[in-house]
A and B are shown apart, each in its own frame.
Chain A
Amino acid sequence: MGLDVRYQLRVNPIACTGHGMCAELLPEIIELDPWGYPILAATPVPRNVMDHAKRAVDACPTLALLMEEVTGKHR
Chain B
Amino acid sequence: MSISLNGPGLWYATRATGLVTLLLLTASVLLGVLTAGRFASDRWPRFLTVGLHRNLSLVVMVFLVLHVGTTVVDTYTSIPVTAAFIPFTASYKTGWLALGAVACDLMIALVVTSLVRNRLGHRTWRRIHWTAYACWPVALAHGLGAGTDRGTIWVFGITAICVCIVAAAATWRFVTGARAGAR
Q: Which A residues fall within an 8 A CB radius of B?
A: 15, 19-21, 24-25, 59, 61-63
Contact = CB atoms under 8 A, between A and B. Distances in A.
18 contacts: A19-B38, A19-B46, A20-B38, A20-B46, A21-B47, A21-B50, A24-B45, A24-B46, A24-B47, A25-B47, A59-B50, A59-B51, A61-B35, A61-B36, A62-B122, A63-B117, A63-B118, A63-B121
A65 to B, nearest CB: 11
Interface residues of B, number: 13
Contacts, number: 25
A62 B36 CA distance: 10
A9 to B, nearest CB: 15
A59 B122 contact: no
Interface in B106-122: 117-118, 121-122
A25 B46 CA distance: 9
B47 A59 contact: yes
B53 to A, nearest CB: 10
Contacts of A24: 45-47
A24 B51 CA distance: 12
Interface string B108-145: 00000000011001100000000000000000000000
B35 to A, nearest CB: 6
A21 B122 contact: no
A19 B35 CA distance: 9
Nearest to B53: A61
A25 B117 CA distance: 20
Q: Which 3 A-B pairs have the closest CB atoms?
A: A21-B47, A24-B45, A63-B122
